[in-house]
């Protein structure tokens, strides 16, 4: 309850289209992550940000951890004895530590801001120079409220790049930026939305994403190789065939098959992104624009591209999700009101309508009068057909009263 016993005003959330009110026991204003209009999920008070499909992380972690547990429990015993001078123990401890490193990379990829661009509270102001605006767009907007043109041109490294206007975020997307339909955010240097990590891959987490898939490829090859070492040791120890060695260590056979399949999948993905890094492309650009035969304005050479991805400083997030938001500030009020003109505004109007009950019979009489007035107006404005000349439009309630009167006259 706020001061003076007045409840706080409703805040419209566009992420779910519902009306909710943020109240705190200590009376403090809500934080930015509590008013966030994207589809993200926040944890630890806004310190961790995930995509809406963050539950896929449990499947991804299990696909990494379970094979390593099986390797350490059923395959590592013979490897410890195969290598002298405690080398065997090191070879067994290494995949455990490396798996922990991979999980750490996974959370660096999925639990941080990938490069979300904050939304504007209102559309940008019209530019003085409208020469780049399409004629059809100007003609459609004459006499109405100002709407930004859908496309404008910017120059990047001497080349003209067309950037689009995002109707949701009310901003012109910077070059290499795209709006993710899953997270409902504009992401800087958008690569793709990865369902395996439950997050967009953008400018602030692409480095960790590549290190994550590269590390998984190396771990699969490691387990694959030492499972073959274990099978080979069984064949020499028991002087048996390959098939009998697999029967003596079935877990080794399962891990060999599993890591072989995963290595092709993750290894192919690593090779593809290695090519993208060398040519300074994103997955979105590669599938949409196809720079084959055209000059890529972002390509600065293989060495420069690697330096940009791995040696450049990761920019700070543009969003302080834990910052407190003043609901009474003009910018926040404009943002909520302008952004609530869609589904949220409809829900708000419906909610306000529910607070003012109307009698059912009264509403029915009002609707009948509206319908009858509409029919009379159409008959007056149009050429009178035979149906309008021969019949008069009478409200439903009046028709019933006339029928009852005629029946009474007939009885008399």
At 105, phi and psi to the nearest 5? -65, -35
Picking from 116, 235, 229, 102, the residue whose alpha carbon sits closest to that of residue 173 is 116
For residue 377, count other CB atoms closer than 10 A to its CB: 11
What's the 3-state SS for 223-235? HHHHHHHHHHHHH
With residues binned 3-state (H G I as helix, E B as strand, rest as coil), the percentages for the chain, rounded to 5, are: 50, 10, 35
Report the length, in residues, of the chain.
412
User: In this structure, are strands 185-187 and 178-180 parallel, antiparallel, or unpaired?
Assistant: antiparallel
Of 194, 200, 220, 227, catalytic:
194
What's the rounded Cα separation, in Å, for the pair 347 and 341?
10
Cα radius of gyration rounded to whole Å, the chain? 33
Any idea which residue has 């029919």 for tokens? 375
Long-range contacts formed by 222-226: CB under 8 A, 24+ apart: 222/94, 222/95, 222/98, 223/67, 223/68, 223/71, 223/95, 223/255, 223/259, 224/255, 224/256, 224/259, 224/260, 224/263, 226/71, 226/75, 226/79, 226/91
What's the rounded Cα separation, in Å, for the pair 390 and 384?
10
Residue 194 bears catalytic tag: yes
Q: How far is CA 347 from CA 7, 14, 37, 344, 356, in A?
A: 20, 10, 16, 5, 15
Q: Where are the alpha helices (DSSP H) in 181-205?
A: none
Q: Which helix (H) or strand (E) holds 77?
A: helix 76-82
What's the rounded Cα separation, in Å, for the pair 297 and 288?
15
Burial zone of 303 (CB within 10 Å; 0-12 exposed, 13-18 middle, 19+ buried): exposed
What's the rounded Cα separation, in Å, for the pair 132 and 149?
9
C-beta separation of 148 from 123 below 8 A: yes
Residues with active-site annotation:
194
């Amino acid at each position: 309850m706020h001061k003076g016993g007045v409840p706080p005003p409703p805040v419209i959330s566009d992420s779910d289209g519902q009306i909710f009110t943020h109240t705190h026991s200590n009376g403090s204003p809500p934080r930015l992550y509590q008013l966030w209009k994207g589809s993200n999920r926040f944890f630890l008070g806004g310190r961790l940000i995930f995509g809406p499909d963050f539950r896929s992380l449990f499947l991804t972690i299990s696909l990494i951890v379970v094979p390593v547990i099986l390797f350490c429990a059923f395959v590592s015993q013979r490897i410890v004895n195969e290598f002298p001078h405690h080398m065997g123990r090191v070879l067994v401890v290494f995949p455990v530590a490396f798996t922990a490193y991979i999980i750490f990379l996974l959370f660096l990829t999925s639990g941080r801001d990938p490069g979300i661009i904050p939304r504007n509270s209102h559309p940008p102001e019209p530019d003085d120079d409208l020469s780049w605006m399409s004629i059809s767009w100007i003609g459609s907007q004459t006499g109405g409220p100002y709407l930004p043109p859908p496309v404008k041109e910017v120059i990047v490294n001497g080349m003209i790049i067309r950037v689009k206007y995002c109707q949701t975020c009310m901003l012109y997307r910077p070059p290499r930026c795209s709006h993710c339909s899953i997270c409902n955010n504009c992401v800087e240097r958008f690569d793709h939305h990865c369902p395996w990590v439950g997050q967009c891959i953008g400018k602030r987490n692409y480095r960790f994403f590549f290190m994550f898939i590269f590390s998984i490829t190396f771990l699969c090859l490691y387990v694959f190789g030492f499972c073959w070492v274990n099978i080979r040791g069984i064949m020499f120890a028991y002087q048996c065939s390959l098939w009998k060695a697999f029967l003596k260590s079935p877990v080794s056979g399962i891990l060999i098959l599993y890591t072989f399949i995963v290595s092709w999948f993750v290894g192919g993905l690593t090779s593809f992104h290695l090519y993208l890094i060398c040519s300074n492309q994103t997955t979105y650009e590669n599938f949409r624009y196809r720079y084959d035969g055209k000059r890529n304005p972002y390509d600065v050479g293989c060495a420069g591209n690697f330096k940009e991805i791995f040696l450049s400083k990761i920019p700070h997030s543009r969003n302080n999700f834990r910052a407190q938001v003043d609901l009474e500030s003009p910018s926040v009020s404009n943002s909520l009101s302008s952004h609530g003109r869609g589904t949220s505004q409809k829900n708000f109007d419906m909610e306000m309508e529910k607070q003012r009950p109307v009698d059912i019979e009264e509403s029915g009489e009002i609707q009948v009068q509206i319908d009858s007035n509409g029919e009379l107006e159409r008959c007056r404005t149009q050429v009178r057909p035979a149906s309008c000349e021969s019949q008069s439009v009478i409200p439903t309630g009046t028709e019933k009263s006339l029928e009852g009167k005629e029946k009474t006259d007939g009885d008399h």
